[in-house]
Amino acid sequence: MFKRPTRTPRVVDQSRPSQEQAQRMATNPTAKKRQREKDRQEYQRDKAALRIQRRQERAQRPPSEPGVDPDIAGIVPGPQPITDDDSAYARQLSSF
């Protein structure tokens, strides 16, 4: 019968922490958490300032015409005029 080789037990020195354990113990989670919270509060203040700024800009903007959607104002339906870029692309395609 085949006998599986036995492994020698690994002896670990429990008196000193490993390098990885020492690095984990050296970090201060309280300081990191405090910094994260400070960053989050600063981000929230910036967002609030942007909201106020947008609200003021919206109030200063002249009102749009009634019945006109400002997102599509000025768009002409139907075929669009050919631009220089389009004509160059068409010439390039016709050369094949």
Percent of all residues in the chain with a pLDDT value above 70, rounded to a whole number: 82
pTM for this entry: 0.42
What pLDDT, on a 0 to 100 scale, did the predictor assign at position 54? 95
Q: Which sign does the torsion angle of CA 68, 70, 71, 76 carry? A: positive
What pLDDT, on a 0 to 100 scale, did the predictor assign at position 93? 75
What pLDDT, on a 0 to 100 scale, did the predictor assign at position 89? 76
Write the DSSP assignment of the chain as a string of letters. ---PPPPPPPP--SSS--HHHHHHHHS-HHHHHHHHHHHHHHHHHHHHHHHHHHHHHHHHSPPPPTT--TTTTTPPPSPPPPPHHHHHHHHHHHT-
User: With bands split at pLDDT 50, 70 and 90, how would you rate the model's confidence at 1?
Assistant: low
Give domain limits for the chain.
29-62
